[in-house]
């Protein structure tokens, strides 16, 4: 597709990709590596090829991988923590599992002797003991979470690099591609299923599946709702004239409302069934990171480093008004994490920030730099 080729260089400069589940999960799942928090420890990847574990209370580094200064490969994926392991992919084409206690490698796929699967940019997804990873080789790789051994490798789903994150629902995997396809694959075999969707323009965001619909942003500057099994979209938003830029980040879908941030600097609340605008909000800058919903609070961050908190129960007119507005002073384009009244953010200065939602301010003692000491 000519459009995908033209856009590829622009895409490379905007690598963040996010997957957020139906209902607004607080754990971001795409893009420049954002933080994940478990049991008082923040896990975050860095652009110089490290994964760092930072204690929230002491702000001290618990461990970092690798424990030498050598660069192993850019880490674009947000770490996933499950059980006693931290999982992530690298752009050098490997998937790692580390021990959460000390950062020791439990397994790596493929082993060093077997080469390279293609750069990993979209955040992997774990379901039923299998980690599903999209790759720049255009394929989905299914690996056992305990051993790292492959269950299967799919055929190519795209003629282009596969940088979006998969969505796993039951026994089906859905993936959106830069050449305008949504593919469905079997979780058991990795084979392409009969249904797929083809659009005139490539898809910019990872797919979000809610009930029997897929919500996904496109390079034609529209957000689409697609019923699984249908060959035509249910609706596209805006209804007439396209938005001012791409819907790059995946939306959040909750209680019949789609919350979608756009690179044009607007946040839109859209009726999930109708595609009609409920309200919008004009941020100070582009919205690259996906929104996060925790309880009844919707959180967005724009590229200027401003964090906005909305009470979704509030009745807005055409223009929403944030409950709180907090600036951290540096650009935000990575996924962020919300837990227990705190928002954890990795800024573009390669530092971790913690924002207190209730107080509407940065927590004392933060930020903490992730930059390696020379």
pLDDT of residue 277: 97
> Is residue 194 in some structural domain?
yes
Percent of the chain as helix, strand, coil, to the nearest 5? 5, 40, 55
> Is residue 171 in some structural domain?
yes
pLDDT of residue 280: 98
Half-sphere exposure of 287 (CA within 13 A, CB side): 29
> Is residue 344 in some structural domain?
yes
> Is residue 231 in some structural domain?
yes
Q: Which domain holds residue 120?
A: 2-369
The residues that bridge with 342 in the sheet, in sequence order, are 339, 356
Strand order in the sheet with 172-176: 167-169, 172-176, 181-186, 192-198
pLDDT of residue 114: 82
What does the alpha-carbon distance between residue 73 and residue 89 come to, in Å, rounded to a whole number?
9
Q: Tell me, what CATH number does 276's domain have? A: 2.130.10.10
pLDDT of residue 23: 56
> Within the chain, how many helices (H) and strands (E) appear?
1, 33
pLDDT of residue 68: 60
What is the full per-residue pLDDT of the chain (374 aa) written as tens digits?
444 444 544 444 444 333 344 654 333 333 479 999 999 999 999 877 899 999 999 999 999 999 664 445 789 999 999 999 999 999 999 999 999 999 999 999 999 878 789 999 999 999 999 999 999 999 999 999 999 999 999 999 998 899 999 999 999 999 999 999 999 999 999 999 999 999 999 999 999 999 999 999 999 999 999 999 999 999 999 999 999 999 999 999 999 999 999 999 999 999 999 999 999 999 999 999 999 999 999 999 999 999 999 999 999 999 999 999 999 999 999 999 999 999 999 999 999 999 999 999 999 999 999 988 76
CB-based contacts of 25, cutoff 8 Å, min separation 6 = none
Helix, coil or strand: residue 5: helix
Evaluate whether 5 touches 204 at the Cβ level (below 8 Å).
no
pLDDT of residue 47: 72
pLDDT of residue 20: 43
pLDDT of residue 361: 97
pLDDT of residue 364: 97
pTM: 0.92
Tally of structural domains, the chain = 1
> Is residue 374 in some structural domain?
no
The full length of the chain comes to 374
């Amino acid at each position: 597709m000519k459009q995908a080729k033209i856009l590829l260089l622009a895409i490379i400069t905007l690598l963040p990709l996010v997957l957020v589940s139906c209902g607004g999960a607080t754990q971001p799942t795409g893009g420049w590596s954002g933080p994940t928090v478990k049991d008082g420890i923040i896990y975050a990847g860095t652009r110089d090829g490290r994964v760092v574990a930072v204690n929230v209370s002491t702000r001290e580094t618990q461990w970092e991988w690798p424990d030498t200064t050598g660069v192993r490969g850019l880490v674009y994926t947000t770490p996933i923590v499950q059980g006693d392991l931290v999982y992530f992919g690298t752009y050098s084409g490997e998937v790692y599992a580390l021990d959460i206690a000390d950062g020791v490698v439990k397994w790596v796929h493929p082993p060093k002797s077997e080469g390279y699967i293609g750069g990993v940019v979209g955040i992997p997804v774990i379901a039923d003991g299998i980690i599903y990873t999209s790759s720049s080789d255009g394929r989905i790789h299914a690996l056992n979470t305990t051993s790292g051994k492959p269950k299967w490798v799919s055929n190519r789903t795209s003629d282009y690099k596969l940088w979006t994150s998969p969505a796993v629902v039951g026994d089906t995997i859905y993936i959106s591609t830069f050449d305008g396809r949504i593919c469905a694959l079997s979780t058991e075999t990795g084979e392409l299923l009969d249904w797929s969707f083809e659009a005139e323009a490539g898809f910019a965001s990872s797919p979000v599946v809610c009930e029997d619909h897929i919500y996904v942003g496109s390079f034609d500057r529209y957000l689409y709702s697609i019923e699984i099994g249908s060959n035509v979209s249910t609706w596209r938003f805006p209804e007439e004239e396209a938005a001012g830029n791409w819907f790059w980040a995946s939306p959040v879908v909750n209680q019949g409302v789609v919350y979608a941030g756009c690179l044009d600097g607007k946040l839109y609340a859209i009726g999930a069934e109708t595609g009609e605008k409920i309200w919008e909000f004009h941020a100070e800058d582009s919205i690259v990171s996906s929104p996060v919903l925790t309880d009844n609070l919707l959180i967005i961050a724009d590229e200027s480093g401003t964090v906005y908190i909305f009470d979704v129960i509030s009745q807005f007119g055409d223009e929403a008004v944030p409950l709180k507005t907090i600036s951290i002073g540096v650009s935000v384009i990575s996924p962020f994490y919300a837990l227990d009244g705190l928002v954890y953010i990795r800024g573009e200065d390669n530092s971790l920030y913690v924002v207190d939602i209730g107080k509407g301010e940065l927590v004392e003692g933060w930020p903490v730099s992730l930059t390696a000491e020379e």
